[in-house]
Structure 1
């Protein structure tokens, strides 16, 4: 089957050679039903594109880069898997880079890794400032992921963090809790996620007529399990400890639940907890964790399609800000009844 040609795939799928070529190159302007028919024929016939030949013929390699600040973090690992799946559906290969949040590394990747074999870059920046990013060579198409707010002529894909955090906090308030804390505040330029989620928390308090108490806002150095546990212990040491806590990611929330257990508290009877990200472990933790579920698959599709639109068509329209969906998944940690067997998938 190594000699299978585009012509053979076209005849098998009942489409033109150009249509097969468009699918193989990841062109976005192909009807989804047609794309799936061509992909089935490619699989059945065992067709394998020749990357070197494609690069010579089209100037494209079929390779995109995805750069995240921490691939060990469950959210970024799950997002990377979603991007790989979305890219594979467009006949693209993904090169994964872990920047560690290093601005020099982020700029190197945003500039195309110094390689002519990268068609485009998906970048989730942590500490790269706008001036440095604006200075990068424009040869390689770039799409940004995440919450950093840049005023640059590039597409940006994200979720509405303010609205999501507001909904999570409103859920706790609706349960009758009035001393609701937040774990995850941060300072500095690399804390856009924290700023937006804390802002949503504050908006929910305001809308419910609950005064904001700065003592209930807990700063953390990082979004790790230990940071969540330390912050929860400090909140429980307050003269008036919280009745509930919204955590800015799931690792902070799992750490908070552990700290509560260490103090003899039962979640959610003595303390209601909500997280953010809906990583897999939250469905199996005890108790299972109420959390905000970003549509990771939808975010990945939006990002891959936005990048390929720039790569394939050389789109000249202005930059777009594209929002993926989210939903609140109510489980045991806030008093909900959903157990791990019934845990939902990411929002659609």
Structure 2
């Protein structure tokens, strides 16, 4: 069987080749139903556009590059890629993954020509931790030549990220609404060099606590304090086993949530009934044997919206879009409930480690 052409699709649907071409390029005045019918027939017949011919006609490659750093790995998850794929499929575009060392990303000779080297029309930048200042400056200086959108990092414009401050506040407000007053925050990351989400979630927690007239506190001590994993678990066991223990915990991420669940199990604290827990993740989180209440990040939405935003920038190189903030939504699990009238102390008392359970600033 020969290669499927626009004529083949047109004959099967009963329209002209011009209509098929317009539908596949998402242009022209064509009804949504007809466009969908043409696209479905093209898929059924295995139609593949001639990328080289299309590039010559349009002056574009029909490709977007997802740029990540070799030195600072960052999660590129299936929901993110699925969101991108859905948006790009509707525009007959394809995605290229470009994984480069930071020395390339700050190279004044290489970066201005990165699109030509990648044969891409624009960059989706997923470099969100320890971003080199020189890279940011190069992207800004050459933004007419390099249409780019930053994913999950904060910039003055042309970026999309999660509203982690509000996410931390919403998680804490949920616990306060259930009646909790002793709510601790658990982090094991030094926020000074971490992703913006680490700091913002904590600050959102502190804001909600203070607005409710409550004192923020850490579950195991100030972040950045150097101690081994076993000592960290011992500190948590000490705090959760004490007489004035927290009745609820906001855990920074999946890893910290697992540690809290382990400590609760050792102390025979029942989730929700004895200790409430909420965390942050990009999907429902239940690998501890029980669904954990979660502030879920809308990663797929970030993927699809990032593509559409970048296409706007490609069409107008001088365009500077305002930052877009996506609010995570709370997914109910089985780890949050109202506090008991009096939280019971549990477990043997251990020697208190200096700094454990201290109030946050």
TM class by smaller structure:
0.7 to 0.9
**Aligned in 2, Cα 1:12/1:197: closer, same or farther, shift over 3 Å?**
farther
Q: Which has the larger radius of gyration?
A: 2
CA contact (8 A) 1:291 1:328 kept: yes
Q: Distance in 2 between matches of 1:245 and 1:183?
A: 7
CA displacement 1:79-138 (0-9 Å, x = unmatched): 234323432333222223567xx7546657976376141222211221114443122343
Aligned with 1:270 (options 267, 271, 274):
274
CA displacement 1:55-77 (0-9 Å, x = unmatched): 3332322222224567785x734
Aligned to 1:140: 146
Specify which structure has the bigger relative contact order, considering alpha-carbon pairs within 8 angstroms and separated by 6 or more residues: 2
Aligned with 2:305 (options 302, 305, 308):
302
Secondary structure of the 1:188 match is: helix
Q: Distance in 2 between matches of 1:93 and 1:328?
A: 33
Secondary structure of the 1:219 match is: coil
CA displacement 1:197-232 (0-9 Å, x = unmatched): 1111111102221122356665369xxxx97x9756
CA contact (8 A) 1:243 1:270 kept: yes
CA contact (8 A) 1:161 1:200 kept: yes
Secondary structure of the 2:191 match is: coil
Aligned to 1:344: none
CA contact (8 A) 1:107 1:128 kept: no
Aligned to 1:121: 123
TM-score normalised by the chain length of structure 1? 0.76
Aligned to 2:56: 56
Q: What RMSD over aligned residues (CA atoms) do the two structures have, in Å?
A: 3.6
Aligned to 1:5: 5
1:36-51 aligned within 5 A: 36-51=36-51
1:163-174 aligned within 5 A: 163-174=166-177
CA contact (8 A) 1:298 1:325 kept: no
1:143-154 aligned within 5 A: 143-146=149-152, 148-151=153-156, 154=157
**Aligned in 2, Cα 1:144/1:72: closer, same or farther, shift over 3 Å?**
closer
CA contact (8 A) 1:66 1:94 kept: yes
Is there any run of 5+ residues in structure 2 with no aligned partner, and where? 339-361
Q: Mean alpha-carbon deviation: is it higher for 200-209 or for 176-185? A: 176-185
CA displacement 1:22-60 (0-9 Å, x = unmatched): 664577998765653332132123210122222333232
Q: Distance in 2 between matches of 1:30 and 1:142?
A: 30
CA contact (8 A) 2:111 2:138 kept: no
**Aligned in 2, Cα 1:115/1:98: closer, same or farther, shift over 3 Å?**
closer
CA contact (8 A) 1:290 1:331 kept: yes
Q: Distance in 2 between matches of 1:267 and 1:188?
A: 32
